[in-house]
Every structure is written in C-alpha cells, then in structure tokens.
Amino acid sequence: MNWMNLIDKWLLLLLTGLLLSLGATATQAQETPFDRLIGKFKEGVVFKSEFNHQYIDSYTGDTVETSGTIWVGENKYKVQNNQQTVVVDGETSRVYDKNRNRVIVSTYEAEEDDFAPSRFLNGADTTYTVENQQEKESQTLITLASADPFSVFQQVEITLAGDLTPRRVFARDQADNLITTTFGAGSFIQQEPGLFVLDYPKQAEIIDMRN
C-alpha cells in the first residue's frame, strides 16, 4: 500500500461528516463542535496542518508511517511530503512525483473514488452518521457510525481541540487494520489564490490521462 492510499483513507475519515448535516433543515442551529466545524468549511476557510499517519496491518502486524503537510478546503485539498504533492481542485487531480520528475493529470471522478473528499463534501455519501459527541478537557471526541455492512470502516473517532482544529483521527476498517493520524500545529487559514495550484519544475514530464 503506497503512502497516497494511506492519505486518502484518513482524508475520508476527516471529511466524511463535513456535510452530513445537509439532510437537516436549514434553520437547525449549529450547536455542537462538529456542526461548527462544518460551518467553517462552508465559509471557505482552509485547515492546514502537519500530520503523522500510521497504518497497522492486522494480518502481518506491519506498520507503515508517513508524514507531511495537508491543506483541506470544502471541496479541494493538497497533500505534500518529500516525495509527492497531490492537488485536487474539485474537477482535476494532479500528482507530482519528485523522484520521477513527473506530473500525472486526471479527471477527478469522486463517484469512482471511495476515499475522495468531495464524495462526502457534496453529500454523495450518507453512510456515516454522528453517533456521539463527547466534550472533555477542552476537547471533543466524535464517534461516527455506519449501518451499512459494506462500509469501509467499522469504527471511526475524530478528536477536535477547543478551537475545532482536528487533533487525531482513528479508524478500524473491516479487516481490523488500524489507521491513526495525528495533527500538529494545525490552524484554519484564509484561502489564498494559488493555494490549490500544483507547483512543479518546467522540465517535468506531463502525463495527461484526460485525453
């Protein structure tokens, strides 16, 4: 499993519930921390953070760890580490591989990507619902649940700090693999022009899968 697949998994966890409230009435008050988090993304702010991602294989016991920087918007995101940068702007996916000096461009098909953030941001997936929100010691533990036996994860927990920044995402998938992502120095920032534009060297090879 490559590191980008791991990042996709935690992106699902972080963003699954962001628009779960779409089914509620427009007049419903945003009272819980999770509701307020949803409101921040809808207002156009971006969550930026350093992250450490750990995947433990339940069968082999092998552990894979990755780290880098993440920027998450309402329907777009960017993930960057020493080897790769991935930018999705809601319509197009661009991946720059530093080692191969190559950019792969493809049409963003959220309905074909089980882990695509916009699949949940646009309300296309209502599998997960908020089962519980527990506030304790200036943090909120949010438990997501699914009644669908074919859902990717059987257990999902999101920890938010008092200022609503995500601190930790934990999940157990249907094969009992454990996925934990912790965030450091996370903050909400205003989106600036070019934030979700992929930067790469002029001499990089471009492979356009849209043709």
Q: What is the pLDDT along the chain (211 residues), one digit of tens a residue?
A: 454 555 555 555 555 444 343 333 333 444 677 777 777 878 888 989 998 888 899 999 999 888 899 888 877 888 898 889 989 887 898 999 999 999 999 988 765 554 444 344 333 456 777 788 888 888 988 887 777 888 777 878 888 898 888 888 888 888 999 988 899 999 999 989 899 999 999 999 999 998 7
Q: What strands lie across the sheet with 45-56, from one edge to the other?
A: 128-136, 139-146, 153-161, 166-173, 178-190, 45-56, 63-72, 77-80, 84-88, 92-97, 102-107, 205-208
Sign, CA dihedral 41-22-184-117, equals negative
Rg (CA), the chain: 17
- Cβ atoms of 66 and 190 closer than 8 Å: no
Q: Give the Cα separation of 70 and 72 in Å (integer).
A: 6
Q: Residue 201 has what pLDDT?
A: 95
Q: Give the Cα separation of 64 and 55 in Å (integer).
A: 5
Place of tokens 């991946």: 95
Q: Residue 146 pairs with which residues in a beta bridge?
A: 128
The single-letter code of the amino acid at 135 is: E
Give the other-Cβ count within 10 Å of 150's Cβ: 7
